[in-house]
Amino acid sequence: MELRLRLATRASKLALAQSKWVAAQITERHPGVRVELVTVTTRGDAVQDRALSKVGGKGLFTKEIEDALLCGGADLAVHSLKDLPTALPEGLTLGAICGAEDARDVLVSRNDQRFEALPSGAAVGTSSLRRQAQLRHARPDLTFVDIRGNVDTRLRKLAEGEVDALILAGAGLARLGLADRISQWLPTKLCLPAVGQGLLGVEIRSDDVETAALLRPLHDEAAATRAEAERSALACLGGGCHTPVGVHATVSGDAVSVEGVVAGPSGEPYYRAAEAAPRHEAAAAGERLAQRLKAMGAGTLLG
């Protein structure tokens, strides 16, 4: 007997590509399972005329999807992990963290210029306060422009001359087959990524043991360790879409290292620190990083 799973997803090209990838991973490992995609419009999708930091609230791209899970309209949901708040609603849990791609941000420019070669005053499109703050710290002479819309829309605005360059998540372009559009992968010393960037989180109901068992082969332990350190740091900092916070962890053998930055919207003040620990202490390393940043003065930006 065929088992049917309903997978809730946003309708954007990227969300569908990610959800179809997870669906294919499930059916490859469990041929008797059929995964049906259920598209859901979130508030973040519906509001396109304002910067994300001005729309307000956590879970802009997840709440309506989580509601579908909780009411039984879907069995699982695929999220870009960076969009998923660190505290999940009661009754929901992460069944798998998977699909790891390069976490770094990238520059896409009209003339294939690198970040350091952009002329003074160049218009750089990104609605992310995290990106704007870090890049303003490095290049206060650039002009940063809030820009919304899916990847195709942003690339069109670049081609039409609305901006001179874009800052995007490299993982998204890679998953859409658009890696050839990347002018430069931004080093983490210049711009630390968002928490969970490049990872996929598969959310399920906490009591759904059957779906949890089906997802177990998809779970990536190294990716989960990275996510644990990063999400622990963010939870301790209490930062969200209103605060420029970047955190990135790397796993090497039995060790995890995690680096974080908190900055003012103008790029100043700027606080950056790092921690390392054994893999089994990933969450503790994230918490220590957050406490170190607060002790440096970052707490004044997090209120």
Q: Which long-range contacts (CB under 8 A, 24 or more apart) does 160-163 make?
A: 161/110, 162/123, 162/125, 163/123, 163/124, 163/125
Whether 112 sits among the annotated catalytic residues: the reply is no
> Torsion over CA of 89, 200, 247 and 256, rounded to 10 degrees?
110
Question: Of 203, 193, 199, 253, nearest to 228 (Cα)?
Answer: 199
Amino acid at 215: L
Residue 112 to residue 58: CA distance in whole angstroms: 34
Q: Token match 């996929």: residue?
A: 200
How many CB atoms sit inside 10 A of residue 48's CB? 11
The order of strands in the sheet holding 245-252 is 245-252, 255-263, 270-278
| Active-site residue (options: 49, 75, 83, 141) | 83
**Where is 245: in which H helix or E strand?**
strand 245-252
Dmax over CA atoms of the chain, in Å, equals 64
For 116-221, list the strands marked E by DSSP: 123-125, 143-145, 165-169, 184-185, 200-205
Burial of residue 298 (CB within 10 Å: 0-12, 13-18, 19+) is buried
The CA-based angle 87-89-94, given to 5 degrees, is: 70
User: Annotated active-site positions, please?
Assistant: 83
